[in-house]
């Protein structure tokens, strides 16, 4: 019933207005303002203010009926117009407040959701990190074990080699020196039968360290020409290399080079010194590298 | 006779009180407090800085001055009536200022939500120009 009150009142006064001759500008403005307010948000959001506006308009209409020309009728109509505008503004304020409250609630809700998601992400990241750390630890442990195993193999190899030939360490790695007279006949590059036995034993040790690169160097004494010594030393180094490759050592990890008489380890004036200079050195390098002949 | 005297006394007393009463009303000062305090309230909420509110504040002030002038001219009833206009305008100026503030705060709150969402948009969809996974 209440919702129909405003339009009925408005219609009533409109009829009254129709009967009158000249309606003051203030009153027609008040009627229009009230019509606007009562058909807008104010009816729903600010009914109390709209009611006040309705009463103010009724008062103005009565004053107008009493004396259409009176200043009082005009002033009351002016006030009624302001009251109607006030009702509209009150509705606008209420809607703005609601909008603000809704936005703040949405902000809180969104922020809460984001915090929750961030916590979830953080938790997942922590789990991933922990898993990664565990994996890293396992890898480190495995590498450490492999390192230990390699060191042990190196030690075993060095010990075994020491029993077969002269072994020494320098910056290049482990150097196994085999006497030339044990491996080859004089001025020949064909391996002697005994040499094969000795090289079999050396190869067995080398195969334990097959991931290392090997350099085989042939050396001669100073007798003969430089050229012939160089050729001979190269042929002998090649012979040893070929034999080790036959024994399953990776070919691309073995280099052979003849150095002739250029790197003596003893004087060439005595027979003993020359015998020491005639030699083949097998160098097991420290660093692994990809190599070919 | 005694009754007539008493009646005369009552009638005279009533007439006198009416005269005194009407004299009292005629000399009662104009009550501008309501209008003045509404104007002050409008000024305090910053009505002068809001265009529409500022207009009604100005009207309220002018109407107050007009009411005072009418009072000085002896038009007391007209002055009181004018004061109603002043008070209504001042009241509307206050409401319009509050409306402006509320709406500004509402807009700021909505913008805050928009910013929050924009700053936390999932990065996977952030670069629409990316060709990853597509064919060129």
DSSP symbols for A215-279: EEEEE--SSS-HHHHHHHHHHHHHHHHHHHHHTT--GGGEEEEE-TTSS-SS-SSSHHHHHHHSE
* Domain ranges, ordered by start, for chain B: 31-117
Q: How many CA atoms lie within 13 A of A162 on its CB side?
A: 8
Determine whether the interchain pair B92/A86 forms a contact, defined as Cβ–Cβ distance below 8 Å.
yes
- Is B96's CB within 8 Å of A89's CB? yes
A282's CB contacts (< 8 A; 6+ apart) are: A175, A176, A178, A202, A206, A214, A215, A216, A240
Q: What number is the average pLDDT over the span A19-43?
A: 90
- Using CB atoms, which residue from B99, B109, B110 is nearest to A92? B99
Whether B37 contacts chain A with CB within 8 A: no
pLDDT band at A288 (very low <50, low <70, confident <90, very high): low
| Top mean-pLDDT range of A31-45, A164-178, A203-217 | A31-45
Interface test mutation site (partner A, options B60, B67, B88, max chain A beta carbons within 10 A): B88
Give me the residue from B95, B106, B117 closest to A89, CB to CB.
B95
Our measurement of the distance from residue A40's CA atom to the centroid of its chain's CA atoms, rounded to an integer in Å, reads: 58
Give A-chain residues touching B97 at CB under 8 angstroms: none
List average pLDDT for each run of 10 residues in chain B, which is 136 residues long.
51 46 56 95 96 97 97 95 97 97 94 90 54 36
A103, B92: Cβ pair inside 8 Å?
no
Nearest-CB residue to B84 (from A79, A97, A99)? A79
> Cβ–Cβ of A107/B78 closer than 8 Å?
no
Residue A82 in contact with partner chain B when CB distance is under 8 A = yes
Give the residue from A52, A77, A51 showing the smallest Cα distance to A64. A77
Give CA angle at A203 (A202, A208), nearest 5°: 105
Q: What is the pLDDT of residue B5?
A: 57
Residues 91-110 of A with CB under 8 A from B: 92-93, 96-97, 99-100, 103-104, 106-107, 110
Residues A111, B116: C-beta atoms closer than 8 Å: yes
A48 touches chain B (CB under 8 A): no
**Cα separations (Å) of A53 from A62, A80, A154, B91?**
14, 6, 105, 13
CA distance A7 to A13: 10
Asked if the Cβ–Cβ distance from A92 to B103 is below 8 Å, we say yes
> What is the rounded distance in angstroms from the CA atom of residue A208 to the CA atom of residue B10?
144
The pLDDT value given to residue A237: 93
Whether A8 has its CB under 8 Å from any CB of chain B: the answer is no
Q: Quote the CA–CA distance of B22 and A279 in Å, as a whole number.
A: 148
8 Å CB contact of A103 and B117: no
Give residue-wise pLDDT tens across range A152-206.
877 777 777 776 678 888 888 888 888 888 888 888 888 888 888 888 888 887 7
pLDDT value, residue B14:
45
Say if the Cβ atoms of A89 and B99 lie within 8 Å: yes
- Side-chain-side CA neighbours of A111 within 13 Å: the count stands at 10
Highest-confidence segment of A88-92, A144-148, A225-229: A88-92
ipTM reported for the complex, 2 dp: 0.72
How large is the average pLDDT for residues A53-66? 97
């Amino acid at each position: 019933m209440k919702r129909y009150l405003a339009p009925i009142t408005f219609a009533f006064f409109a009829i009254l207005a129709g009967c009158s001759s000249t309606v003051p500008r203030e009153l027609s403005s008040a009627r229009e303002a009230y019509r606007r307010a009562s058909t807008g948000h104010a009816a729903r959001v600010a009914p109390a203010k709209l009611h006040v506006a309705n009463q103010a308009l009724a008062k103005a209409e009565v004053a107008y009926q009493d004396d259409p020309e009176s200043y009082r009728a005009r002033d009351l109509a002016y006030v009624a117009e302001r009251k109607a505008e006030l009702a509209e503004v009150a509705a606008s304020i209420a809607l703005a407040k609601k909008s603000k409250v809704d936005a703040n609630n949405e902000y809180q809700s969104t922020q809460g959701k984001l915090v929750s998601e961030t916590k979830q992400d953080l938790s997942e990241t922590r789990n991933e990190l922990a898993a990664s750390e565990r994996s890293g630890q396992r890898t480190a442990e495995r590498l450490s074990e492999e390192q230990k195993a390699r060191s042990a193999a190196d030690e075993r190899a060095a010990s075994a080699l020491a029993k077969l030939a002269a072994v020494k360490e320098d910056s290049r790695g482990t150097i196994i020196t085999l006497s030339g007279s044990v491996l080859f006949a004089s001025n020949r590059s064909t391996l002697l039968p005994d040499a094969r036995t000795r090289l079999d034993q050396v190869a067995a040790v080398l195969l334990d360290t097959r991931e290392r690169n090997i350099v085989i160097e042939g050396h001669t004494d100073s007798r003969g020409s430089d050229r012939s010594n160089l050729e001979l030393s190269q042929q002998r180094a090649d012979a040893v290399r070929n034999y080790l490759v036959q024994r399953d050592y990776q070919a691309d990890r073995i280099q052979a080079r003849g150095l002739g008489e250029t790197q003596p380890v003893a004087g060439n004036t005595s027979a003993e010194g020359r015998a020491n200079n005639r030699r083949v050195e097998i160098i097991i390098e420290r660093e692994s590298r990809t190599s070919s002949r | 006779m005694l009754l007539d005297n008493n009646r005369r006394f009552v009638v005279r007393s009533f007439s006198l009180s009416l005269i005194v009463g009407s004299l009292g009303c005629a000399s009662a000062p104009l009550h501008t407090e309501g209008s003045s305090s509404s104007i002050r309230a409008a000024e305090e909420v910053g009505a002068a800085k809001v265009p529409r509110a500022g207009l009604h504040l100005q009207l309220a002030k002018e109407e107050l001055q007009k009411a005072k002038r009418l009072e000085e001219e002896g038009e007391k009833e007209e002055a009181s009536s004018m004061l109603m206009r002043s008070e209504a305008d001042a009241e509307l100026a206050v409401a319009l200022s509050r409306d402006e503030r509320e709406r500004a705060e509402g807009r700021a709150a909505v913008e805050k939500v928009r910013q929050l969402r924009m700053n936390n948009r999932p990065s996977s969809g952030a670069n629409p120009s990316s060709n990853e996974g597509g064919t060129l």
